[in-house]
Structure 1
Amino acid sequence: MTEHRMEKDLLGELPVPAQAYYGVHTLRAAQNFAVSGCRVHPELLRALAEVKWAAARANRQAGLLTANIADAVSAAAREVARGQLADQFIVDALQGGAGTSTNMNMNEVLANRAIELLGGQKGDYRLVHPLNHVNMSQSTNDTYPTALRIAAIRLVLALSDAMARLQGALQEKEAQFAGVLKLGRTELQDALPVTLGQEFGAYAEAVARDRWRLYKVEERLRQINLGGTAVGTGLNAPRRYIYQVVEELRQITGLGLARAENPVDLTQNADVFAEVSGLVKAAAVNLAKIAGDLMLLAAGPAGGLAEINLPPRQAGSSIMPGKVNPVIPEMVTQAAWQVMGADQVICQACAGGRLELNAFLPLVAHNLLHGLEILAKTAQIFADKCVRGITANEQRCRRWLEESHVLVTALAPYIGYEQAAALARRAREQHKTIKEIVLESGLLSEEEWHALAAPRELTRPGIAGARRLAGRLGKDLKRGDE
């Protein structure tokens, strides 16, 4: 039978498991908010422990905490920041109270661990008190948002690195496929020739933009309201503590944090999280678009475009032997959609703040940190398990291009739009390629056709074949860049 200790709060007494590091406030919150089954994100707990560590050191230097209590709390916070006692954080991620329950969970765990380090018994808050000592000079309303910013910074930078990895993989394919001429498509209809390398180069550029935007937005998270206490005014936080605690937190985290010029602003307004989420959503949009394109380009292999081959990762069917599905792009798409949906939740939660505080930061934290984490993992898996293993089906690319009539567009500057359209109509009616029609009509020789239809001529600015064919078809045309 589990042994218990009795603890009391404003509402009365509750039995707490004797070996638990959490206390009565945490237990009530766990009972009240048993809703999602999701725990508070580990990076948020790590950052909050670092905030408590910095506060203990600053309170000691300000003469507010004795050395033995400050050192014990600091040691306990250091352990939690390293991932120890993770099972003691039992409050659901979706909680009322603007994060107060997470803050109290941390206060109680650190207090009881500090008591233990000092040789006492858990629950003997005469030695170290969760509120009077661990939470000294603080409020949930400055510690929780500060921890959220720190956690978001770390995960934003991790996502930026993952996007850089994906960018590199796409650039490798851009170079590898530079000479693979293929049919370009607009609105899923035949358009103009492109190289497969150009397509992958465009994907790389989109990801590069995401990488840079995420890298820069990290700066927007560096201002913190720590020291502002409940509404940003700093009541119950001595000036010496306020300035010292930010310096301590910089040293502990290694991040370029700065005290907000207007802590009241940062306490009541959460728009920076909506801004960050918007850029994360933009990255998700690009990942979903790229994944969708790759699935389309690889469709088949017999009944689709099949211009590229995705690396096979697992058997695709329990009933169709030999079937292999594009499982990595499918996973990427689902992760991206999840992040896009979470952005809407984050925007609503950020807009839901009232007067001096936003009570919905736990919802922001859950969706933002989770989204950052899954998108970083997604980008890395996308790069390593899909993009790097893609190969080109050059024969298929050449077939679709030759069987289409889009090459007639390259003739339009020489013979005019209407005559070019007539050639295309003739090719369709006779079920022939544009090349066959052009050669039969004597418009161009075989050598001249290849000069016109060379990959370099068809996929760069200017008039295709202008150098070789100027004057040949009745017009003196130049590329304009010769």
Structure 2
Amino acid sequence: MDDAGHSNAADAAMWPRLTDAQPMAPIGPSLRRLLSWYQLLQTVGLRFPGAPLSFLPPTAPAELRAALESTETRTEKDSLGIREVPAEVLWGISTLRAVENFPITGRTVGQIRELVWALGAVKLAAARANHELGRLDEARCQAIEAAAQEVMDGKWDSQFVIDRVQGGAGTSTNMNANEVIAHRAQQIIGDDSIQINPIDHVNAAQSTNDVYPSALKLALHWAMRGLIDEVALLADSFGKKAMEFAEITKIGRTQLQDAVPMTLGQEFGAFADAMREDVVMLRNFIPHLLELNLGATAIGTGITAPVGYRELVLKHLQQITKNNVIGARNLVEATSDTGVFVLVSGGLKRTAIKLSKICNDLRLLSSGPQAGLNEINLPPMQAGSSIMPGKVNPVIPEVVNQVAFRVVGADTTVAMAVEGGQMQLNAFEPVMADVLFDAIESLRNACATLRLRCVDGIEANEDVLSRRVAESVSVVTALSPLIGYARSADLMKQALEENVSIIDLAVQEGVLDEATIRRAIADATGHTQTVE
């Protein structure tokens, strides 16, 4: 053991793990420090030739693993030094460093089609604006335009390999886009004498701090439209069931206790309108997502952007995306404030919670079939138990419930990330993007699944519903306007004690005739047909 307390036995045990070689002699402090640095560099993700890609999450795309294991490389240099980059990829040294630095989720930016499209659109608009202002020559502009259009079209999604959750406020994502477009533009131009630089040309007059949030908002705008369409379709599906069940009377419930008569159509009509309300609410968010800070550059002062650039880039972006994008009134505020994401996330949470409540009702209404409510039948989708033969579970409403739980969790993430911003920039937009796109996609899929595999196939158990109305003492409320509250209460108490129906008891006691009672029950639902 040396003066620092290190044992040679421990050194001997460590050495084979690091070098796959047996030590010839005990190692000294200097070599030990070298080995410690080697181990640290392996831990943080610096890959040595032949070293395993242990820093990548298991869910990382296979294409990324294959690229990083390639022996064919090209040399690139940045302010931190020189690195070997896989020869066949379009991304470069900045992307490589980000891949190594952020092995977090295994979910890549390239898996968000909307975001890659929006990044391509922003870069295309910037190239056109810079060309008009004399910042970009014709040849480079045309090549960058062509490459950016390919990015928009989805040709290079697999080249956006950085983890969605990353430090740096989205700088890595912006540089991934810059490098892919620059390298592809270089291929398109086909002339090595005309070099296209990711920063000097593709990123001209831009900063991550205006490119990333602008692209993120555009991408969310696209994704939200798809969700809104699915919520509207689900509302229509509930509406069709409301019409189908309009003639079926049942007992409503408050606090899970029998309340007053209603129709099954009214119950499903309420589901429909609950979803229609959220269609309107979600549509109201759209204008907020089209207010961009593009042209703000670093903190909102527009540094490095030439006069007229902001107006031109917004004009071109509007033409490219066919969206009515507008510039934020206060660019410093728009660059530092991420409150719009709280608005969107809150809307998603509201829709998810309301949808989950509806699914709770569907599960309860379909419970049974013998010891539950058994008022409706959900389509049987799969066997429900490995031990109980014939059991069928409400698996579709259950999965929608679970999606809602995740969306509520995403909202908490967004709230904390927005609050965590400091000074002129919020560094946590990447995690906002990650959870928001996940929430939108899963909620959209949940709405479609619920509509197609559940709601469209729901059937009413009319015999059960009719019997419940006839047997329930709760219909006495419908008689109260005719015989008074006190007499109604006495009838209810007597019916419970004698275990008879209110209708039979009222007729037997000569309080009202049966036809009058059934008209009163029908009137109580707002439905004109007499209850049979």
Interval containing the TM-score (normalised by the shorter chain): over 0.9
Aligned to 1:475: none
Deviation at 1:24, TM superposition (A): 0.6
Deviation at 1:320, TM superposition (A): 2.6
Aligned to 1:283: 351
Contact 2:120 2:149 in 1 (8 A): yes
Higher mean displacement: 373-382 or 30-39 = 373-382
Higher mean displacement: 14-23 or 366-375 = 366-375
Q: Distance in 1 between matches of 2:512 and 2:130?
A: 86
The answer to whether the aligner puts 1:233 opposite 2:301 as a matched pair is: yes
Q: Distance in 1 between matches of 2:96 and 2:314?
A: 31
Query: Could you say if the C-alpha distance between residues 23 and 278 of structure 1 is closer, same or farther in structure 2, counting changes exceeding 3 Å?
Result: same
Q: Distance in 1 between matches of 2:401 and 2:193?
A: 50
The one-character-per-residue Cα deviations of 1:230-280 (angstroms, maximum 9, x if unpaired) are: 001111101222211111101111100011121111100000110111111
Deviation at 1:461, TM superposition (A): 9.9
What letter matches 1:25 in structure 2? S
Aligned to 1:478: none
Q: Distance in 2 between matches of 1:243 and 1:118?
A: 28
Deviation at 1:318, TM superposition (A): 2.6
Secondary structure of the structure 1 residue equivalent to 2:284: helix
Deviation at 1:376, TM superposition (A): 1.6
Deviation at 1:413, TM superposition (A): 2.5
What letter matches 2:190 in structure 1? G
Aligned to 1:10: 79
The answer to whether the aligner puts 1:300 opposite 2:300 as a matched pair is: no
Q: Distance in 2 between matches of 1:169 and 1:155?
A: 22
Secondary structure of the structure 2 residue equivalent to 1:325: coil
Query: Could you say if the C-alpha distance between residues 170 and 125 of structure 1 is closer, same or farther in structure 2, counting changes exceeding 3 Å?
Result: farther
User: Which of 422, 439, 442 pairs up with 2:507?
Assistant: 439
Q: Distance in 2 between matches of 1:110 and 1:220?
A: 29
Aligned to 1:183: 251
Q: Distance in 2 between matches of 1:90 and 1:158?
A: 25
What letter matches 2:492 in structure 1? A
Aligned to 1:330: 398
User: Which of 116, 137, 149 pairs up with 1:66?
Assistant: 137
Aligned to 1:476: none
Q: How does 1:75-114 map to 2 (within 5 A)?
A: 75-114=146-185
The one-character-per-residue Cα deviations of 1:428-461 (angstroms, maximum 9, x if unpaired) are: 11111111211111112233333333x2x12129
Q: Distance in 2 between matches of 1:241 and 1:104?
A: 21
User: Which of 13, 19, 23 pairs up with 2:92?
Assistant: 23
Q: Distance in 1 between matches of 2:251 and 2:83?
A: 71
Q: Distance in 2 between matches of 1:57 and 1:222?
A: 20
Secondary structure of the structure 1 residue equivalent to 2:243: helix
Secondary structure of the structure 2 residue equivalent to 1:324: coil
Aligned to 1:412: 480
Deviation at 1:69, TM superposition (A): 0.7
Deviation at 1:203, TM superposition (A): 1.0
Q: Distance in 1 between matches of 2:193 and 2:301?
A: 29
Aligned to 1:458: 524
Q: Distance in 1 between matches of 2:149 and 2:445?
A: 27
The one-character-per-residue Cα deviations of 1:318-354 (angstroms, maximum 9, x if unpaired) are: 3333222111111111111111110111111111111
Q: Distance in 2 between matches of 1:448 and 1:259?
A: 66
Deviation at 1:140, TM superposition (A): 0.1
Secondary structure of the structure 2 residue equivalent to 1:191: strand
Aligned to 1:311: 379
Secondary structure of the structure 2 residue equivalent to 1:193: strand
Deviation at 1:158, TM superposition (A): 1.4
Q: Distance in 2 between matches of 1:184 and 1:108?
A: 62
Aligned to 2:11: none
Secondary structure of the structure 2 residue equivalent to 1:127: coil
Secondary structure of the structure 2 residue equivalent to 1:14: strand
Contact 2:162 2:176 in 1 (8 A): yes
Higher mean displacement: 338-347 or 396-405 = 396-405
The answer to whether the aligner puts 1:36 opposite 2:102 as a matched pair is: no
The one-character-per-residue Cα deviations of 1:162-184 (angstroms, maximum 9, x if unpaired) are: 11101111111111111110010
Secondary structure of the structure 2 residue equivalent to 1:65: coil
Deviation at 1:89, TM superposition (A): 1.1
Structure possessing the higher relative contact order (Cα contacts under 8 Å, 6 or more residues apart): 1
Deviation at 1:125, TM superposition (A): 10
Higher mean displacement: 379-388 or 270-279 = 379-388
The one-character-per-residue Cα deviations of 1:393-424 (angstroms, maximum 9, x if unpaired) are: 11111122222210111222233323222211
Contact 1:111 1:125 in 2 (8 A): no
Q: How does 1:417-436 map to 2 (within 5 A)?
A: 417-436=485-504
User: Which of 100, 106, 122 pairs up with 1:51?
Assistant: 122
Contact 1:108 1:130 in 2 (8 A): yes
What letter matches 1:358 in structure 2? N
What letter matches 1:383 in structure 2? R
Contact 2:299 2:332 in 1 (8 A): yes
Contact 1:308 1:392 in 2 (8 A): yes
Deviation at 1:144, TM superposition (A): 0.3
Secondary structure of the structure 2 residue equivalent to 1:184: strand
Q: How does 1:195-210 map to 2 (within 5 A)?
A: 195-210=263-278
Secondary structure of the structure 2 residue equivalent to 1:239: coil
Secondary structure of the structure 1 residue equivalent to 2:512: coil
Q: Distance in 1 between matches of 2:152 and 2:519?
A: 66
What letter matches 2:382 in structure 1? Q
What letter matches 1:234 in structure 2? G
Q: Distance in 1 between matches of 2:384 and 2:262?
A: 31
Q: Distance in 2 between matches of 1:82 and 1:207?
A: 33
Q: Distance in 1 between matches of 2:454 and 2:280?
A: 23
Which sections of structure 2, spanning at least 5 residues, go unmatched? Answer: 1-69
What percent of counterpart residues are identical?
46
Contact 2:121 2:149 in 1 (8 A): yes
The answer to whether the aligner puts 1:143 opposite 2:214 as a matched pair is: no
Q: Distance in 2 between matches of 1:448 and 1:191?
A: 20
Q: Distance in 2 between matches of 1:195 and 1:21?
A: 62
Q: Moved runs in structure 1, 4+ residues, more than 3 A?
A: none
Deviation at 1:356, TM superposition (A): 0.5
What letter matches 1:357 in structure 2? L
In the alignment of these two chains, the number of paired residues is 459
Deviation at 1:315, TM superposition (A): 2.1
Q: Distance in 2 between matches of 1:321 and 1:250?
A: 59
Q: Structure 2 length as normaliser, TM-score?
A: 0.84
Q: Distance in 1 between matches of 2:427 and 2:519?
A: 68
